A and B are shown apart, each in its own frame.
Chain A
Amino acid sequence: MAFFIETLIGGLLSGVMYALVALGFVLIYKASGVFNFAQGALVFFAAATFVGLLETGLPFWLAIVATLAAMVVVGLATERFVLRPLVNQPQITLFMVTIGLTFFLEGLTQMIWGSQPRALDIGIEDVPVEWLIERFNISVSRFDVFAASVALVLFAVLAVFFQKTRIGRALRAVADDHQAAMSIGIPLQQIWGIVWAAAGFVALVAGIMWGARNGVQFALTFTALKALPVLILGGFESIPGAILGGLIIGAIEKLAEVYVGPMFGGGIESWVAYIVALMFLLVRPEGLFGEKHIDRV
């Protein structure tokens, strides 16, 4: 039983990491209807820039601020030079353009910072939390707990930002209805710029967490693929959906890996999340919290 709980907790905690990446997708999709496949590349870019700056000898906080500035620049540039010319194009075109952006960012990142994997040390060791072992005989990585708490803080910050600030309200208005938002004088393009910058910020947090965990390397871009089942499970438009979806996918993936995987000879984590999400969609086609579409002829 202890082992089951241990696996479950491990899964839930890694699910929070998936949710971190999924959150970036949701932010952009909600506000501009763009399915931003480049979120994974943004994570990679953020992590590589952060590590690169640290290596030049910049102090930790300065490096974070500088990377954040870089992410904001990338976000604003994307909005200005990639998305603005494509306003009113079909969604598939916007999706494709973000794949082009993925290639571009991947190339740019490796060109600036090199392609060799690098370690990122943020001072939290990947060792079990002691009192959990003593009290319940459960081994939970301290790093995972830390990452999950950072994610929770981020979610809380975003929730406050969306609910309580003026810009947050404008963002929600735009997400709700572009035309109505424009007609009451909300500057759409400015809002999109802010959203992309916010997604860049989320990517930075995700990049630091994932980078500290697995090393800063090209494989970070594949975090996007981990986030996709989370997205369809939780619904593209919902931040709580991204979090809950992340928890569910993380838990199921770990449990399946441990209990079902050996039956098939392992390696099932590449698809099990997708199949689970797919099964779930057959029951609820919009995901957990996605907007229900009413078709009119």
Chain B
Amino acid sequence: MLYREAGQFKTSYAADQQIFPIRQDRIGIAIVLVLAFVAVPLFAKFVPDTGQYLLSAIFIPFLIFSLAALGLNILTGYAGQLSLGTAAFMAVGAFAAYNFVLRVPGIPLLVAFIAAGLCAAAVGILFGLPSLRIKGFYLAVATLAAQFFVVWTLVRFPWFSNHSSSGVITAQKMVILGYEFDSPIEKYMLTLAIVAIMAVAVKNMVRGTVGRAWMAVRDMDVAAEVIGIRLMYTKLLAFAVSSFYCGVAGALYAYAYLGTVEPEAFTLDLSFRILFMIIIGGVGSVLGSFLGAAFIVVLPIVLNVFVHGLNGLLQSTVQWSLPGSITSNLELIVFGGLIIFFLIVEPHGLARLWQIGKEKLRLWPFPH
């Protein structure tokens, strides 16, 4: 009932092929965008304390990780090339943006971000070259080479961090057309705008020729080649676009989220976290990237609150609380356990749950 597309007739090819062909989807997206662009900033403005905390601890990292997850989803979910080097591409983006702003006088910030993305794309193509020969887990392990090599390079050559003694870079102020993006609200709006534009771009890409070629390669590359898809071009394009997204995400990670960042922040752990996001959110789904990012960003915070609450309860009832070593490890255990649980219960991710929900809503409230 709520989600029935009956009666929505399409009278032209253009109408049939639009990004959101169903009216309810369009309304839903509009609501989400209004909430994100208007309601959240307004909330942060009028409830400054909680609002600012929410923005800088949850919303901004959520958006940035969504972007990185989108990037990985292009490569792994759509083109079928498993990668464990996401953090490396983010690192390239972050350090490239820093160096562009530092060394090119008067470069506009957004141009620097795009250039940083392009640098990441170049590195991505370089490490994507083996994908022409090797597949599956061999490729996944090969992408680890990118992970270790990039971080090592950034640490070893101090030029990249402008000879800072500790290797830490401090992101410059974000100034666009003379306007400085400084407060959490401004940073959030900038991040949101970039992420929204890039998400629509992916959505557009994956329904077109490029996306279909990626999916054909993912499903069976030999068959794709036989029907005339150029494997080299398609795979490398996937690596390039994916790394571009990760690179921009990395730049935002440094500029809008952390402010100061060192190469060691982009560890294998970060790559795994982003991989978790797309697995839990849904492989090969734009929506899934966002859902997964939300889940992985919010989960540690919820766990933390939960453990603290448990401690408080124990403290007040039996005058005893869990020692610190147990609480920190408990988080690890619960995190690992939840991931296992989640994969067992819904291996296709949160996006699949949403799909099931839509099917149900189509008939609701008259299931027969």
Q: Kindly list chain A residues whose C-beta atoms are within 8 Å of the C-beta of B339.
A: 96-97, 99-100, 103
Q: Kindly list chain A residues whose C-beta atoms are within 8 Å of the C-beta of B134.
A: 281-282, 285
A175 and B145 CA atoms in complex are apart in Å by: 29
Q: Kindly list chain B residues whose C-beta atoms are within 8 Å of the C-beta of A285.
A: 133-135, 138
A111 touches B335 (CB 8 A): no
Cβ 8 A contact of B347, one of A86, A225, A231, A277: A86
A107 touches B333 (CB 8 A): yes
Cβ 8 A contact of B137, one of A35, A100, A111: A35
Q: Quick check: which of B55-63, B207-215, B275-283 contacts chain A, the rest being far away?
A: B275-283
Any chain A CB within 8 A of the CB of B312?
A: no
B333 touches A104 (CB 8 A): yes
Q: Kindly list chain A residues whose C-beta atoms are within 8 Å of the C-beta of B337.
A: 100, 104
Q: Kindly list chain B residues whose C-beta atoms are within 8 Å of the C-beta of A107.
A: 329-336
Cβ 8 A contact of B133, one of A101, A108, A271, A281: A281
Question: B321-356 CB contact bits vs A (8 Å, 1 = yes)?
Answer: 000011001111111111110011001000000000
A→B interface (CB under 8 Å): 35, 82, 85-86, 89-93, 95-97, 99-108, 110-111, 114-115, 225, 228-229, 231-232, 236, 264-265, 267-268, 270-271, 274-275, 277-278, 281-282, 285-287, 290, 293, 295-297
B152 touches A111 (CB 8 A): no
Any chain A CB within 8 A of the CB of B364?
A: no
B145 touches A275 (CB 8 A): yes
Q: Kindly list chain B residues whose C-beta atoms are within 8 Å of the C-beta of A287.
A: 138
Q: Kindly list chain A residues whose C-beta atoms are within 8 Å of the C-beta of B76.
A: 92
- 16 additional A-B pairs beyond A110-B329, A287-B138, beta carbons within 8 Å, are A86-B344, A96-B279, A99-B272, A103-B333, A104-B333, A106-B332, A107-B332, A110-B325, A228-B141, A228-B144, A270-B148, A271-B149, A282-B133, A285-B135, A290-B138, A296-B222
A92 touches B156 (CB 8 A): no
If the complex has contacts A103-B336, A267-B156, A297-B226, are A231 and B141 also in contact, measured as CB distance less than 8 A?
yes
* Chain A: CB-nearest residue to B335: A103
B141 touches A277 (CB 8 A): yes
B329 touches A92 (CB 8 A): no
A281 touches B138 (CB 8 A): yes
A104 touches B332 (CB 8 A): yes
Q: Kindly list chain A residues whose C-beta atoms are within 8 Å of the C-beta of B130.
A: 278, 281-282
B152 touches A268 (CB 8 A): yes
B329 to chain A, nearest CB (A): 4
Q: Kindly list chain A residues whose C-beta atoms are within 8 Å of the C-beta of B149.
A: 271, 274-275
A270 touches B152 (CB 8 A): yes
Q: Kindly list chain A residues whose C-beta atoms are within 8 Å of the C-beta of B223.
A: 297
B→A interface (CB under 8 Å): 76, 82, 130, 133-138, 140-142, 144-145, 148-149, 151-152, 155-156, 220-223, 226, 268, 272, 275-276, 279, 283, 325-326, 329-340, 343-344, 347
* Chain A: CB-nearest residue to B337: A104
Cβ 8 A contact of B343, one of A100, A270, A277: A100
A-B contact pairs, 15 of them (CB 8 A): A97-B344, A103-B335, A107-B336, A110-B332, A115-B325, A231-B141, A232-B142, A267-B155, A270-B148, A270-B151, A274-B149, A278-B142, A281-B142, A282-B134, A286-B138
A274 and B149 CA atoms in complex are apart in Å by: 9
Cβ 8 A contact of B142, one of A97, A111, A277, A286: A277
A296 and B221 CA atoms in complex are apart in Å by: 10
A217 to chain B, nearest CB (A): 14
A286 and B156 CA atoms in complex are apart in Å by: 32
A101 touches B336 (CB 8 A): yes
* Chain B: CB-nearest residue to A265: B156
B268 touches A82 (CB 8 A): no
B141 touches A232 (CB 8 A): yes
B347 touches A93 (CB 8 A): yes
Cβ 8 A contact of B336, one of A100, A264, A275: A100
B202 to chain A, nearest CB (A): 20
If the complex has contacts A93-B279, A110-B325, A278-B130, are A104 and B222 also in contact, measured as CB distance less than 8 A?
no
A134 and B138 CA atoms in complex are apart in Å by: 44
* Chain B: CB-nearest residue to A236: B137
B144 touches A225 (CB 8 A): yes
Cβ 8 A contact of A100, one of B140, B145, B340: B340
B145 touches A274 (CB 8 A): yes
B343 touches A93 (CB 8 A): yes
A96 and B343 CA atoms in complex are apart in Å by: 8
A86 and B156 CA atoms in complex are apart in Å by: 43
If the complex has contacts A96-B276, A100-B339, are A267 and B142 also in contact, measured as CB distance less than 8 A?
no
B138 touches A108 (CB 8 A): no
B135 to chain A, nearest CB (A): 7
Q: Kindly list chain A residues whose C-beta atoms are within 8 Å of the C-beta of B155.
A: 267
B291 to chain A, nearest CB (A): 16
What 3 A-B pairs come out closest when comparing CB atoms? A107-B332, A103-B336, A104-B336
A213 and B76 CA atoms in complex are apart in Å by: 38
Cβ 8 A contact of B141, one of A85, A93, A103, A229: A229
Q: Kindly list chain A residues whose C-beta atoms are within 8 Å of the C-beta of B141.
A: 228-229, 231-232, 274, 277
* Chain A: CB-nearest residue to B136: A91
